[in-house]
Amino acid sequence: MLTHVPPVSLPPTYSIRMSLLPPHSPTRKQGALYMLLLLIFSDLCLAIYTSGNPAFRVFQPAVIFGGLVFATLTLHCEHSRGHRSSGVLTIFWLLSLLVDIVRFRTFLIDAQHIPVHNWLHIAFFAPHFGFDLMSFVFSLLKEPPPYEAEEGNESPERHASFFSVISFWWLNPLMMTGYKRALTPQDLWELNRNDRAAQLSATFRGKWLRQVRKKGDKASLVAAMRQSFGFTFFVAALFKLANDLLAFVAPQLLKAMIGFTQSATAPNWHGYAYAAGLLVTAMVQSVCLHQYFHRVMTTGMRLRSALISSVFRKSLVLTNSARQRHTSGEIVNLMAVDSQRFLDLMSYLQMVWSAPLQISLSLYFLWELLGPSVSD
């Protein structure tokens, strides 16, 4: 076994990427974030040194400053890894922007009652809102590649922005090509590095050998599969949970909207809020459902590739006595049929916990709406 890999054996594209990757080069996202840090730090200092401020006036900029520090660390981590878009930061800036909108509305309502010295805080808030909006827009866009693209037809999914990933916008070029003419093998993209059989086989083999070293003959194949591909399956479970919960949000909003139409004293903005809630709920539910299926099918594909590679590798080192017990047809059947069953299972395995959850919530809301069944 090789214990040392000489530098000359590394792929040439690796040295090119490492030499062209600028881990500390400033970007427009970093620029807007640093300006926000400066503004919030100044607002925090003003709140501390201004006499007569209540505790919440100091606590508020302190919490915002802590959130910006988290965003800075996350952005630096993503940038150092060569990621051009971050879903965590996109959600963070969206929530921050929504909070700013509420704060701005509060400032407008209380404009006549704000003391003179608090107008300085409003002066800090105005550019803060602008940089929050800029940061959210920048998070929807992907940065230019930090290194030259590898040779071949690389999949755009790898460097797609967060909005492109959740909406599958990166598939549009292939769809447009298929609309204009029949697709050819040259039009298809190469597999991502994490989806290639060599990478998947090496990952699964490493986890399996670790199980063998720890437990010997009692090594668990399920544990090796969970350690190799469990994270993607767990993320898919979160999307499935969000989709299941949102399925019960829409009926509650519809119930509230019916109550709004029957009330003569309810303000008009309640109706707009319920209508907007129905729209947003349907959109988010659709995104979660499609992301769930995409990830469970990806997990199944990776698991199938790893199992096929493992069975084929094992078939090459079978002894003569083992070959007499296992025919070539059985080995081919394991690779072609049994491994496919794992792929088919992935999309239904989440129903083990999802179905009881949906049934329980349905019965709860039915009980709340109809009450107990009684007979005359």
**What averages of pLDDT result for each successive group of 10 residues across the chain (376 residues)?**
38 39 54 76 72 64 80 76 71 82 74 58 72 78 57 75 83 90 88 86 89 84 88 92 93 90 86 91 92 92 89 83 78 83 86 93 88 67
Contacts of 107 (CB under 8 A, 6+ apart): 114, 122, 125
DSSP structure string for 27-77: -HHHHHHHHHHHHHHHHHHHHHHSTT--HHHHHHHHHHHHHHHHHHHHHHH
Please name which of 202, 183, 180, 184 lies closest in space to residue 193, comparing C-alpha atoms.
202
DSSP 238: H
Distance (Å, whole) CA 363 – CA 367? 6
Q: Are 75 and 33 in contact (CB under 8 A)?
A: yes
Torsion sign (Cα): 209, 213, 214, 219? positive
Give me the number of domains the chain comprises. Answer: 3
Do 249 and 355 lie in one domain? The reply is: yes
State the Rg of the chain over Cα: 28
Spatial contact of 231 and 344, defined as CB atoms under 8 Å apart: no
Helix, strand and coil percent figures for the chain, each rounded to 5: 80, 0, 20
Quote the pLDDT of residue 7.
38
Whether residue 1 lies inside any domain: the answer is no
Distance in angstroms (rounded) separating the CA atoms of residues 164 and 176: 16
- Residue 311 pLDDT: 86
Q: Residue written as tokens 């037809």?
A: 153
Nearest in space to 37 (alpha carbons), one of 8, 71, 9: 71
Tokens of 284: 């988010």
CA angle 136, 139, 140 (to 5 degrees): 95
Structure token pair of residue 48: 């501390």
Is 315 within the bounds of a domain? yes
Does 9 reside within a domain? no
Yes or no: say if 191 and 302 are a contact pair by the CB < 8 Å rule. Answer: no
Write the CA distances from 13 to 82, 157, 158, 194, 351, integer angstroms: 15, 20, 17, 17, 43
Note whether residue 278 is domain-resident: yes
Same domain, 349 and 228: yes
Same domain, 177 and 199: no
Residue 46 lies inside a defined structural domain of this protein = yes
Q: Which residues contact 230 (CB under 8 A, 6 or more apart)?
A: none
Residues 93 and 41 in one domain: yes
Co-location of 243 and 102 in the same domain: no
Q: What is the pLDDT of residue 265?
A: 85
Are 131 and 199 contained in the same domain?
no
Q: Could you say which of 140, 171, 206 is where a domain stops? A: 140
Residues 165 and 275 reside in one and the same domain: no
Same domain flag for 135 and 203: no
Whether residues 97 and 182 share a domain: the answer is: no
HSE of 99 in the Cβ direction (CA atoms, 13 Å)?
15
Range of the domain at 278: 194-370
Quick one: 161 and 234 in the same domain? no
Domain assignment present for residue 307? The answer is yes
| Domain end marker among 140, 170, 202 | 140
Answer yes or no: do 113 and 43 share one domain.
yes
Per DSSP, the three-state class of 119 is helix
Rounded Cα distance, 179 and 176, in Å: 5
pLDDT score recorded for residue 112: 59
- Pair (353, 242) in one structural domain: yes
Does 183 reside within a domain?
A: yes
- The answer to whether residue 13 sits within a structural domain is no
